[in-house]
């Protein structure tokens, strides 16, 4: 007996674009409603294997979403590292400027780990 079947997925969708890509990639007749994968249509086989189709789409979506989160996390780490580097350079420039005002002699020493050590020597006259 065929009828309209209503099957709702369990995974909450946070990125609609990735969810749509997952549906297209799997090729199933599934929709997105209220941030969930839903099959709500007439089915000749009374929804046989529709649970499996939805779980396949959800698994693919979860994999894509995890990759997306890793990429965002990497970009955020790079951005934070760049901000820290800029802040360190500004502090070093300010320190050098103030040291020269106070009459210190500066020496830069580059270490093996590619860090710079500033050595301040007080000039005595």
Q: Following DSSP, what letter does each residue of 91-113 receive, concatenated? A: HHHHHHHHHHHTTEEEEEEE-TT
Q: What is the mean pLDDT of residues 50-66?
A: 92
Give the pLDDT score at 44.
Answer: 67
* pLDDT > 70? residue 46: no
State whether residue 120 is helix, strand or coil.
strand
Phi-psi region of 27 (alpha: psi -120 to 50; beta: other; left: phi over 0): left
Give the pLDDT score at 86.
Answer: 92
Nearby residues of 105 by Cβ (< 8 Å), 6 or more positions away:
120, 121, 122, 123
* pLDDT > 60? residue 1: no
Nearby residues of 80 by Cβ (< 8 Å), 6 or more positions away:
none
70-96 tens-digit pLDDT:
999 999 999 999 999 899 889 888 988
Q: CA 36 to CA 2: how far, in whole Å?
A: 24
101-111 tens-digit pLDDT:
888 888 878 78
* pLDDT > 60? residue 57: yes
């Amino acid at each position: 007996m065929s009828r309209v079947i209503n099957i709702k997925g369990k995974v909450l969708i946070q990125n609609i674009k990735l969810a749509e890509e997952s549906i297209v990639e799997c090729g199933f007749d599934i929709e997105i409603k209220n941030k969930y994968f839903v099959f709500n249509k007439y089915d000749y086989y009374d929804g046989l294997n529709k649970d499996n189709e939805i779980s396949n789409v959800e698994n693919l979506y979860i994999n894509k979403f995890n990759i997306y989160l890793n990429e965002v996390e990497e970009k955020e780490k790079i951005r934070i590292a760049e901000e820290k580097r800029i802040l360190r350079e500004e502090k070093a420039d300010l320190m050098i400027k103030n040291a020269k005002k106070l009459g210190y002699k500066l020496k830069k020493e580059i270490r093996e780990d590619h860090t710079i050590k500033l050595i301040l020597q007080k000039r005595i006259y």
